[in-house]
């Protein structure tokens, strides 16, 4: 059974890992690389609440109120949910002695969600197949989720160190 302390650790780890991913995305944006548009994530989630899952183009879908805020909230909620995966894979002991392998494997595995769920639902096709550069976009998603995995390890290490 997971304790309240473990849940708090998972929340902190998820927020830390997501923050590292956001810092990475800001770095890429400064280099001129197109990155996630959190308004589109919020728009997609807003339409989910209205019963619509798939769109021909999320960019052309009707905007929803506060979509950028909803996108950021969703981004962090998903990061927190994904932070529970290493605990599921390696057990609660991982929270006190995190290993980089489990964290990186988790981060890389989470790329399945955008490639096979979000991108198709937003009109980009499976694994970004309907974009001008599908392989490039898939590799960029893989790198972003690798950074998230690194963030899981670093955040879990800090949380474990603080909780000693």
Within 10 Å of residue 85's Cβ, how many Cβ atoms? Answer: 19
Residue 13 has a pLDDT of 98
Residue 2 has a pLDDT of 75
> For the chain, how are helix, strand and coil distributed in percent, rounded to 5?
75, 0, 25
Rounded Cα–Cα distance for residues 38 and 54 (Å): 17
- 162 φ/ψ angles, rounded to the nearest 5 degrees: -65, -35
Residue 123 has a pLDDT of 97
Residue 74 has a pLDDT of 98
What's 127's DSSP letter? G
Mean pLDDT per 10-residue interval, the chain, length 164 residues: 92 98 97 94 97 97 98 98 97 97 97 96 96 96 98 98 95
Whose structure tokens read 């390890």?
Answer: 153
Torsion of CA 38, 53, 18, 86, to 10 degrees: -170
Q: Are 115 and 58 in contact (CB under 8 A)?
A: no
Give 148-160 pLDDT, tens digit per residue.
999 999 999 999 9
Helix ranges (H only) for 50-162 are 67-83, 85-90, 93-96, 100-109, 112-113, 119-121, 134-162
Q: Are 35 and 17 in contact (CB under 8 A)?
A: no
């Amino acid at each position: 059974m997971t304790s309240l302390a473990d849940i708090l650790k998972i929340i902190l780890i998820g927020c830390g890992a997501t923050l590292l991913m956001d810092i990475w995305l800001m770095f890429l944006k400064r280099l001129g690389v197109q990155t996630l548009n959190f308004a589109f994530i919020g728009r997609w989630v807003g339409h989910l609440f209205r019963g619509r899952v798939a769109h021909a183009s999320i960019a052309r879908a009707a905007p929803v109120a506060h979509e950028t805020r909803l996108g950021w909230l969703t981004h962090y909620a998903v990061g927190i949910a994904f932070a529970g995966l290493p605990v599921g894979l390696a057990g609660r002991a991982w929270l006190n002695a995190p290993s980089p392998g489990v964290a990186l494997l988790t981060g890389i595995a989470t790329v399945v969600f955008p490639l096979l769920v979000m991108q198709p639902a937003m009109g980009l096709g499976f694994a970004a197949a309907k974009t001008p550069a599908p392989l490039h976009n898939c590799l960029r998603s893989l790198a972003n989720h690798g950074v998230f995995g690194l963030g899981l390890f670093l955040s879990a290490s800090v949380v474990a160190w603080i909780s000693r």
